Structure 1
Amino acid sequence: MRKTTTTTLAAALLAGGAFAATGGSAQADILFWSTQAAPVEETQAMRGQVLSGFEEAVDYQATDDRGPWLTRIEAELQAGSGTIGLLGALHGEFVSLSDDLVDLSDIELGDVTVNATFQQLGMLGTGEQKYLPWMQATYIMAANRQALDYLPEGADINALTYDELIEWARVLAEETGGPKFGFPAGPQGLKHRFFQGYLYPSYTDSAVTEFRSPEAEEAWNKFKELWQYTSPSSTSYGFMQEPLLTEEVWVAWDHTARLADAFNQRPDDFVAFPAPAGPTGRGFMPVIAGVAIPRTAPDTEAAKALAAYMLKPETQVATLRATNFFPVVEVDLPDDMPASVRLSGQAIARMANADDANPSLLPVGLGEYNGKFNQVFVDAFERIVLAGQDVRQVLDEQGETLRSVMQDSGAPCWAPDEPSEGACPVE
Structure 2
Amino acid sequence: MKTRLKLSLLITASALISTNAIAETLFWSSQATPIEETQAMREQVLSGFGGGVSFQPADPGPWLTRIQAELGAGSGSIGVLGALHGDFTPLAGNLTDLSGVDASAVSPGFMELGKLGTDDQKYIPWMQATYVMAAHTDALEYLPDGADLMALSYDDLIAWAANMHDATGQPRFGFPAGPQGLKHRFFQGYLLPAYTGSMVTEFRSDDAEQAWNAFLELWEHTNPASTNYSFMQEQLISGDAWVVFDHTARLADAFNQQPDDFVAFPAPSGPAGRAFMPVLAGMAVPETASDKDAAMELIGYMLAPETQIATLRATNFFPVIDVDFPDDMPPSVQAAGAAIAAMSGAEDALPALLPVGLGDLGGQFNQVYNDTFERIVLARQPVRAVLDDQADALRRILEEAGAPCWAPDAASDGPCPVN
Q: TM-score range by the shorter chain?
A: over 0.9
Matched residue SS, 1:412: coil
Matched, 1:92 2:86: yes
Partner in structure 2 of residue 180 of structure 1: 172
Partner in structure 1 of residue 45 of structure 2: 50
1:262 counterpart letter in structure 2: A
Partner in structure 2 of residue 60 of structure 1: 55
1:361 counterpart letter in structure 2: L
Counterpart contact for 1:91–1:290, Cα < 8 Å:
yes
Matched, 1:39 2:34: yes
- TM norm structure 1: 0.92
Equivalences, count = 402
Identity across matched positions, percent: 65
Query: What do residues 121-152 of structure 1 show as CA deviations (whole Å, max 9, x unaligned)?
Result: 11111111100000111100000000001111
2:60 counterpart letter in structure 1: R
Partner in structure 2 of residue 169 of structure 1: 161
CA distance in 2: counterparts of 1:249 and 1:412, whole angstroms: 39
Between 377-386 and 171-180, the greater mean CA deviation after superposition:
171-180
CA distance in 1: counterparts of 2:22 and 2:379, whole angstroms: 61
Shift of 1:28: 5.0
Matched, 1:375 2:372: no
Shift of 1:27: 4.9
Matched, 1:403 2:395: yes
342, 348, 352: which one aligns with 2:340: 348
CA distance in 2: counterparts of 1:259 and 1:108, whole angstroms: 34
2:287 counterpart letter in structure 1: R
2:81 counterpart letter in structure 1: L
Q: Where in structure 2 are the equivalents of 1:28-427 lying within 5 Å?
A: 29-63=24-58, 65-108=59-102, 113-427=105-419
Query: What do residues 23-60 of structure 1 show as CA deviations (whole Å, max 9, x unaligned)?
Result: 9x975532111111111111110000000000022211
CA distance in 2: counterparts of 1:359 and 1:231, whole angstroms: 28
2:397 counterpart letter in structure 1: V
2:57 counterpart letter in structure 1: A
Counterpart contact for 1:115–1:330, Cα < 8 Å:
no
Structure 1 stretches of 4+ with a deviation exceeding 6 A read none
CA distance in 2: counterparts of 1:114 and 1:228, whole angstroms: 38
Q: Compare CA radii of gyration and give the structure with the larger one.
A: 2
2:29 counterpart letter in structure 1: S
Structure 1 unaligned segments of length 5 or more: list them.
Answer: 1-21
- TM norm structure 2: 0.94
CA distance in 2: counterparts of 1:205 and 1:108, whole angstroms: 29
Structure 2 unaligned segments of length 5 or more: list them.
Answer: 1-16
Shift of 1:107: 2.0
Q: CA RMSD in A?
A: 1.4
1:55 counterpart letter in structure 2: G
Counterpart contact for 1:76–1:296, Cα < 8 Å:
yes
Query: What do residues 134-172 of structure 1 show as CA deviations (whole Å, max 9, x unaligned)?
Result: 011110000000000111111111111111111111111
2:132 counterpart letter in structure 1: I
CA distance in 2: counterparts of 1:115 and 1:218, whole angstroms: 29
